Chain A
Amino acid sequence: MKRKRSKPGILLFAMLAAVLIFAGCAKNNSGSEASSSSSPSPEASATSSASASASPSASTPSGPDISKKVELSMYLPSDGAPDAKLIHDELNKMTERDINATVKITFLSNDAYNLMLSSGEKFDLIFAANYMNYQDNARRGAFKEITPEMLSAYAPETAMEDKDKLAGGYVGGKMFAIPTLAASFNYSAYVVRGDLMKKYNVPDIKTIDDFGVYLDAVAKNEKSMIPYNMGKNDAWTLCALYFGNNNLMAPGTPNCTSPIALKKDDPSLQLVNTFDLPETTAFIKKMKQWKDAGYWSKNALSNTVTLNDSFKNGKNAALITSIPGANNIYNEVNKSHPEWDLRVYPAFQGPIDRYSYMAGGMAIGAKSENAERALMLLDLLRYNEEYNMLTQYGFKGTHYTINEKGDIVFPADSKYPPNAAGTWGWTNETYTRVFDGSFPNYAELLADAKARYEPNPLVDFSINAKEISEITTNLSNLFTQYAGPLYMGFTNDVDAGIQEYKDKLNQAGLAKYKEVAQKQIDEYLKSK
């Protein structure tokens, strides 16, 4: 071991280090100055266009100025599709013709999405959705505000849209994104195997208990199957079942993992602690019975195989999923195993909730220099049938055909399958077709969802967690540690388990969270 270093050596080393540190800093500074001074034109043009857009109606009545050709950048979280390049080329021909712009679309993963926002990169358009923390990202300055003036000048069709359909795009009274034009309902369905139902004489499924009868028949008779073979992240399917059947909703979160909830039939919209409700205890007791009866594995919490995958492999007998989710699995399984005779039954009783339209949408980057052209492109993608059909479904004849019923048909191994190319940000119900090969009662369930839908004044509300972020962080962690296992029945004593969870929640500041949420809800309702 060389224990002794020479004093001058250390000194020299330190000096070298110091020099390099300072050199590094200096270079950094001069570098950023150089880049900002060498490219003054875009910033200047941005400020001039901003001032122009502030008073567009007065100065430019004849439509926006598109004489300068621009290239827009668009980021979509998706794995992409093999033929996406062809579609994008065709799209570029159209945008060049209509708005003198081209658009470069880049696919990225969800993790890269977050990193890109935090890096402060310059971009024009990006997908945004409340399940991807749209509101929080907007509050942190990731997106450019879309003012009413900008909207009416550059996206006139969107500007004329129903207030209700745009409401999801507002955060703190300002619009940062334009939501999709497709309503999706919080409507779950059981997907079960008709062949097993017939074999064991299981009656039609109407309630949770009927579902239990089916699971029981499978547990007792099909030894190679686990009736509801949950994976480690599937606890929410059970709490969704509970919320959906008890007319509960969580404020400002799209799912049931919240420890506070609103009873939708309570006109005062007062928040309650979910785990104070006797219904919760009763539900969890039932889930414990189900778990003890072997309806799911003792190690479900560590099982990495999802419900869907084990269902497709014939190891799992049931799913709880949305209508589109049921349709996807039906499409897939009905081809490989028509003998399974899949059946789909509604899983929620009572009124049905709609998700915010902000379940998908498009936002403009905070540093975008072409916001006007980006808005013009969005208006085309959203409302122009040619643009919408091309981006959503590809080339007619190659990627899809329309059959005599008016349903859309996709070839077996399509190189531009639907819902693959990240185009969820501008879905428009008007142009959305029913897929050929949908499950038999698909239309019936959709109609049922619409019929039972009850408008909900808080659908677009989201909690501003800036002041209580440490509490929300810990609450979501406690769900994983305590509530998830409880909903899956993993406890020896339900009452004691619930009490332990409640104690932890109180320690983590549930009372304050509830108070802040209630205050924000009241303010939101007042301002509406």
Chain B
Amino acid sequence: MLFLMLTPAVVYFIIFHYVPMGGVIVAFKYFEFDKGILHSPWVGFKNFSFFFESGQAWLLTKNTILYNLAFILVGMVFQVGVAILFSELGGKRIKKFLQSTMLLPYFISWVVVGSFVYGIFNYEFGSLNTLLRTLGMDPVDIYGNPSVWFFIIVGFYLWKLIGYGSIVYLAAIMGINPELYESAELDGANIFQRIRYITLPLLKVTIVIMILLQVGGILRGNLDMFYQLVGNNGLLFNTTDVIDTFVFRALYQQGLDLGMPAAAGLYQSAVGFVIIISLNYIIKKVNPDYALF
């Protein structure tokens, strides 16, 4: 009976995740319209060369990994922090209000975020520079200054996803037996001690699993975000370009060549697969309870 209930999910995964996986062969083919995926001629690893011969492969891989590490680690710290804050907060109404406010940015499209980022940092008429000018200070040229963009991007990522990401942790905290807190309180533990010795240790499993899940996608850039915030501004590419934006840009003008984007995607997935398998293996060695599988 339980397996019957599982069937829809299994069917879904097979149709939309396993069958399309066969399409990965297009990464090794010169795609021709009339022949389709199956009958197009093989070209070996040629489709991969555009990425590795661009002279940017290392920079892009490095940027992608660094950004994702920042998102995962800094994001985790903030999300856990916010979750703990909400769990300890009294006052039902204010709590609900704050929680909704935190969640709201998640539903704003990056397109919209991109346009108000431009509205803030625009040199001539942006709100930041207008403010600086009225205060008698020199305006700053954000769009000509690549080094600040790491912070802008991470900042907006946090702003948008903290509320949403904290829900999982909040749920885990709600699952902690309240008796633990009561007895700790009776023993004289203050709020920080309770967080330090009860909440955090019990959240550890959730945190490790959440990190593991995200690490699998460590070579995937969030195209939506990077493209909407940075766009085609070549001046900023050295600090903001990730694999996804590079591939998108490289192939957008070229008409539809299925082979090259498929090759780039395969590279990202393969590296992500290796990373998650080895990380899981290590964690299993250290503490089998924390491993994903």
> Which residues of A come within 8 Å of B, CB atoms?
1, 3, 12-13, 16-17, 20-21, 24, 114-115, 117-118, 120, 132-133, 136-137, 140-142, 226, 232-233, 297-299, 301-304, 366-367, 466, 469-474, 476-477, 480-482, 484-485, 490, 504, 507-509
Asked if B19 is at the interface (CB within 8 A of a chain A CB), the reply is yes
B254 adjacent to A133 (CB under 8 Å): yes
- Chain B residue with the shortest CB-CB distance to A118: B256
A484 adjacent to B33 (CB under 8 Å): no
Contacts A142-B34, A297-B123, A304-B231: A117 and B256 contacting too (C-beta < 8 A)? yes
Interface string of B82-114 (1 = CB under 8 A from A): 000000000000000000000000000000000
> Which residues of B come within 8 Å of A, CB atoms?
3, 6-7, 10-11, 14-15, 18-19, 30-36, 46-47, 49-50, 53-55, 115, 118, 121-124, 141-144, 205, 209, 230-235, 237, 241, 246, 249-251, 253-258, 260, 289
Chain B residues contacting A299 (CB-CB under 8 Å) are 118, 121-124, 141-144, 233
User: Smallest CB–CB gap between B58 and chain A, Å?
Assistant: 12
Chain A residues contacting B36 (CB-CB under 8 Å) are 120
- Chain A residue with the shortest CB-CB distance to B237: A481
In angstroms, Cα B71 to Cα A176, docked, is 50
Known: A299-B122, A471-B50. 19 other contacts (CB 8 A): A1-B205, A13-B3, A20-B14, A21-B14, A21-B19, A140-B31, A140-B32, A141-B32, A298-B123, A299-B121, A301-B143, A302-B143, A302-B233, A303-B118, A469-B50, A469-B254, A473-B50, A484-B234, A507-B55
A20 adjacent to B11 (CB under 8 Å): yes
In angstroms, Cα B237 to Cα A480, docked, is 10
Contacts A472-B254, A474-B250: A508 and B55 contacting too (C-beta < 8 A)? yes
B19 adjacent to A298 (CB under 8 Å): no
Which of B30, B143, B233 is within 8 Å of A466, CB to CB?
B30
Chain A residues contacting B205 (CB-CB under 8 Å) are 1
Chain B residues contacting A118 (CB-CB under 8 Å) are 31, 33, 256, 258
Contacts A114-B256, A301-B235, A366-B34: A24 and B15 contacting too (C-beta < 8 A)? yes
A476 adjacent to B254 (CB under 8 Å): yes
CB pairs A–B below 8 angstroms (6 shown): A20-B10, A299-B144, A301-B143, A304-B231, A366-B34, A485-B234
User: Smallest CB–CB gap between B33 and chain A, Å?
Assistant: 4
Q: Which of B47, B237, B254 has the most CB of A within 10 A?
A: B254
A473 adjacent to B250 (CB under 8 Å): yes
In angstroms, Cα B237 to Cα A137, docked, is 30
Contacts A24-B15, A114-B256, A118-B256: A142 and B33 contacting too (C-beta < 8 A)? yes
Which of B31, B230, B233, B253 is within 8 Å of A476, CB to CB?
B253
In angstroms, Cα B124 to Cα A226, docked, is 9
Chain B residues contacting A304 (CB-CB under 8 Å) are 115, 118, 231
- Chain B residue with the shortest CB-CB distance to A296: B124
A508 adjacent to B53 (CB under 8 Å): yes
In angstroms, Cα B4 to Cα A13, docked, is 11
Contacts A120-B36, A301-B143, A470-B53: A482 and B234 contacting too (C-beta < 8 A)? yes
User: Smallest CB–CB gap between A115 and chain B, Å?
Assistant: 7
Chain B residues contacting A3 (CB-CB under 8 Å) are 289
User: Smallest CB–CB gap between B5 and chain A, Å?
Assistant: 13
Chain A residues contacting B34 (CB-CB under 8 Å) are 120, 141-142, 366-367
Chain A residues contacting B14 (CB-CB under 8 Å) are 17, 20-21, 24
User: Smallest CB–CB gap between B245 and chain A, Å?
Assistant: 10
User: Smallest CB–CB gap between A12 and chain B, Å?
Assistant: 7
Chain B residues contacting A508 (CB-CB under 8 Å) are 53-55
B144 adjacent to A17 (CB under 8 Å): no
Which of B3, B31, B121, B258 is within 8 Å of A12, CB to CB?
B3
Chain A residues contacting B289 (CB-CB under 8 Å) are 1, 3
Chain B residues contacting A13 (CB-CB under 8 Å) are 3, 6, 10
In angstroms, Cα B144 to Cα A120, docked, is 44
Which of B33, B46, B124 is within 8 Å of A141, CB to CB?
B33
In angstroms, Cα B31 to Cα A1, docked, is 45
Which of B6, B19, B50, B123 is within 8 Å of A474, CB to CB?
B50
B18 adjacent to A17 (CB under 8 Å): yes
User: Smallest CB–CB gap between B264 and chain A, Å?
Assistant: 11
Top 9 A-B residue pairs of the complex, sorted by shortest distance between their CB atoms: A133-B255, A470-B50, A299-B143, A141-B34, A298-B123, A507-B55, A481-B234, A114-B256, A301-B233
- Chain B residue with the shortest CB-CB distance to A229: B124
Chain B residues contacting A366 (CB-CB under 8 Å) are 33-34
In angstroms, Cα B10 to Cα A16, docked, is 8
- Chain B residue with the shortest CB-CB distance to A120: B36
- Chain B residue with the shortest CB-CB distance to A366: B34
- Chain A residue with the shortest CB-CB distance to B3: A12
In angstroms, Cα B11 to Cα A474, docked, is 40
In angstroms, Cα B254 to Cα A132, docked, is 9
In angstroms, Cα B260 to Cα A469, docked, is 9
In angstroms, Cα B235 to Cα A485, docked, is 7
A469 adjacent to B249 (CB under 8 Å): no
- Chain A residue with the shortest CB-CB distance to B55: A507
Q: Which of B144, B235, B256 has the most CB of A within 10 A?
A: B256
B124 adjacent to A470 (CB under 8 Å): no
In angstroms, Cα B230 to Cα A232, docked, is 11
In angstroms, Cα B194 to Cα A164, docked, is 85
Contacts A118-B258, A133-B254, A297-B123: A504 and B55 contacting too (C-beta < 8 A)? yes
Chain A residues contacting B49 (CB-CB under 8 Å) are 470
Chain B residues contacting A24 (CB-CB under 8 Å) are 14-15, 19
User: Smallest CB–CB gap between B38 and chain A, Å?
Assistant: 11
User: Smallest CB–CB gap between B30 and chain A, Å?
Assistant: 7
Chain B residues contacting A476 (CB-CB under 8 Å) are 250, 253-254
A474 adjacent to B255 (CB under 8 Å): no
Chain A residues contacting B19 (CB-CB under 8 Å) are 21, 24
User: Smallest CB–CB gap between A437 and chain B, Å?
Assistant: 34
In angstroms, Cα B248 to Cα A79, docked, is 24
Contacts A21-B19, A477-B54, A509-B53: A301 and B251 contacting too (C-beta < 8 A)? no
In angstroms, Cα B19 to Cα A136, docked, is 29
In angstroms, Cα B142 to Cα A232, docked, is 15
In angstroms, Cα B118 to Cα A297, docked, is 12
